[in-house]
Amino acid sequence: MRRILPLVVLAAGLLLTACGPTAQILYNWGGEYDGVTEYERLAYRSSATESPESLCSMLVMYERLVNNPGGWRQVPPPGICAEYAWLLAQPETLTAFSQHASSRQKESLSYAVSSAAFQARSRELFEMEMRLYPESITFIKPLAERLFK
């Protein structure tokens, strides 16, 4: 019995440590509420309503995810930089943001609300996507080249 007791205690300890949280979140997709991340919620709302207000919220969320990535890797999630860059490269984005963003939303961007600033940030984000995720170069590089001819 004396030989079995330490083995039982050791086995129980191993089982209990195996049940704890072992994996960290690899990427931060924004805070989670009711099992849905901020990215999922805003992307769905933006695609469902396509309103200027939802576009403004998306830009602010993208900026936050790029500048404060979080997660175990401490880099923006795959595709976020490219999505953000694509959105900034669209001419209607500047118009919608200029006219509908609140002053707080405008202040949350790390660049000016101007055509030149949106284009420069777009290029920077495409380059960041390719640097962080080299497997995306095949798709992102031709896309960026067509946008910035």
Report the number of distinct structural domains present in the chain: 1
CA 54 to CA 45: how far, in whole Å? 7
**What do you get for the CA distance between the two ends of the chain, in Å?**
80
**Domain range for 87:** 26-147
The answer as to whether 40 is a domain residue is yes
The answer as to whether 103 is a domain residue is yes
The answer as to whether 71 is a domain residue is yes
Q: What is the pLDDT of residue 12?
A: 60
pLDDT tens-digit readout, 29-66: 887 877 888 888 888 777 777 789 989 999 999 999 99
Confidence of residue 88 (pLDDT cuts 50, 70, 90): very high
pLDDT tens-digit readout, 125-136: 999 999 999 999
Q: Is 33 helix (H, G, I), strand (E, B) or coil?
A: strand
- Element spanning 64, H or E: helix 52-67
pTM, rounded to two decimals: 0.80
